Structure 1
Amino acid sequence: MRLVIAKCSVDYVGRLKAHLPLAVRLLVLKADGSVLVHSDGGSYKPLNWMSPPANMRTLSPDDVDLETGVVEQWIVQSAKTDDRLIINIYEHISDSSHDLGVDPGLIKDGVEADLQRLLAAQIDLLGDGYTLIRREYFTAIGPVDILARDAKGATVAIELKRRGDIDGVEQLTRYLELLNRDPLLAPVRGIFAAQQIKPQARVLATDRGIECKTLDYDAMRGVDDSETRLF
């Protein structure tokens, strides 16, 4: 990755036109060919950019008749369209390159797979006497996150979401309709479990006889003791 701080003006030419007047900015050139123009504000979003694949040419005043004061011009050409990002540099303030290596990617915490694993190991969070039948119980329309039995021996299908919305309730409803056709499992009731459940989803679930359960992910993984919190 190359990081350049320079006094520059920027023009985007193509399907649309945009102009950034002369100012000091951060120019980021990534190994994938993308070029981003940042200011010292606006959070993470660049002022302008060219997405990969793209090719960049660097021109000096000796190469072409550049306007007065321009010491270098970058022309970043999209490989897919006629769009161009033209950066006129008037002064180089800083220029450094860094090899960041291969990034392992973002590892999300609290994803549905984690909730499923933790709830299967702590199935008693659903109530006393619950036992696990299996995780990822296969059906013809997809796997049910957790299939369990309650204290009375009745079958319970649990659908897990990080944020529970109406689509999740609809999904569990389809599973219940299919599972209740199996005489070895019926009657099957449902539990819609999530870290957060939207009010509309809770109303729909309740109307369909589906129980809602809010999960405390931090408490489940042992990094937060809910009993010692004031709120």
Structure 2
Amino acid sequence: MIHRRIASVPSGRVAWRTMRLVIARCSVDYAGRLTAHLPSAPRLILVKADGSVSIHADDRAYKPLNWMSPPCSLKEGDGSVWTVENKGGEKLIITLEEVLHDSSHELGVDPGLIKDGVEAHLQELLADRIETLGEGYSLIRREYPTAIGPVDILCRDADGQTVAVEIKRRGEIDGVEQLTRYLELLNRDPHLAPVKGVFAAQEIKPQARVLATDRGMSCVVLDYDALRGIEDDKLRLF
């Protein structure tokens, strides 16, 4: 028989915004390509707004003991057994013995993680040290406006050709696609064309590098700490 010490799930919640926290003594069985069993113990169960369910112990930092990624469905049965099933038929069966806490919370829309403005700072540093891209490079402007958004840096190389630079902290395929759209638009301007592209990032994924190279773009790996640590010889008195 299940014993509920606290069972106060707020009603009227909007599912996609709600996270449910359950602390319970429970056992967990996973049935799928492999099988796994967690014996009875007090644990934290997280049911997130995206539909995922994860079971945590009071250690292992952020890593769950077991989980089911979305899309999946949760059926609570008679209240003591939860069955979480994904589209592949894999199941996570949680047997609740004693519920110590059960609550739901609306977290709202998350703004996302901002990593200390690294991309913006990279743009600023690279614009100030545009010769990092090659000898003879000169800056036209940062945040060059276009109809589909600003290009991080627009500059000219030693031969006077226009260069559009897209800067990312981590260079992935999406960034290459973004630069491709900018180049297609910029190359319609007879005052700028021909415009070549430079994809610059602290780290460039192999797939992104292959795609960028295939589209005629150059890839540049930026050392953020080195750029930041370069001595500034401007306006120096001594």
Q: Report the TM-score range of the alignment, normalised by the length of the smaller protein.
A: 0.5 to 0.7
1:24 partner letter: A
1:159 aligns to 2:176 (yes or no): no
Aligned equivalents of 2:206 and 2:21: distance in 1? Answer: 47
**Structure index of larger Rg:** 1
Q: Is the 8 A contact 2:24 2:101 kept in 1?
A: no
Aligned equivalents of 1:218 and 1:194: distance in 2? Answer: 13
Structure 2 residue matching 1:181: 3-state secondary structure: coil
Aligned equivalents of 2:48 and 2:206: distance in 1? Answer: 45
- Residue of structure 2 equivalent to 1:26: 43
Cα offsets for 1:152-202 (capped at 9, x unmatched): 654211122333356655654554354333221123232221112345655
What 5-or-longer segments of structure 2 have no aligned partner? 1-19, 85-90, 232-238
Aligned equivalents of 1:28 and 1:146: distance in 2? Answer: 46
Aligned equivalents of 1:100 and 1:208: distance in 2? Answer: 47
Pairwise mapping of residues 190-229 of structure 1 onto structure 2 (< 5 A)?
A: 190-198=197-205, 202=209, 210-220=217-227, 222=228, 225=229
Check 1:214–1:41 CA distance in 2 against 1; reply closer, same or farther (3 A cut). closer
Aligned equivalents of 1:181 and 1:206: distance in 2? Answer: 22
1:45 aligns to 2:64 (yes or no): yes
Structure 2 residue matching 1:135: 3-state secondary structure: strand
2:189 partner letter: D
Q: Is the 8 A contact 2:169 2:201 kept in 1?
A: yes
Structure 2 residue matching 1:213: 3-state secondary structure: strand
- Residue of structure 2 equivalent to 1:138: 146
- Residue of structure 1 equivalent to 2:113: 107
Which has the higher relative contact order, 1 or 2, with Cα contacts under 8 A spaced 6 or more apart? 2
1:118 aligns to 2:118 (yes or no): no
Q: CA deviation at 1:135?
A: 0.9
Alignment size in residue pairs: 204
Aligned equivalents of 1:180 and 1:106: distance in 2? Answer: 33
Check 1:138–1:23 CA distance in 2 against 1; reply closer, same or farther (3 A cut). same
Q: Percent identity?
A: 41
What 5-or-longer segments of structure 1 have no aligned partner? 60-73
RMSD (CA atoms): 5.2
1:47 partner letter: N
Aligned equivalents of 2:48 and 2:210: distance in 1? Answer: 49
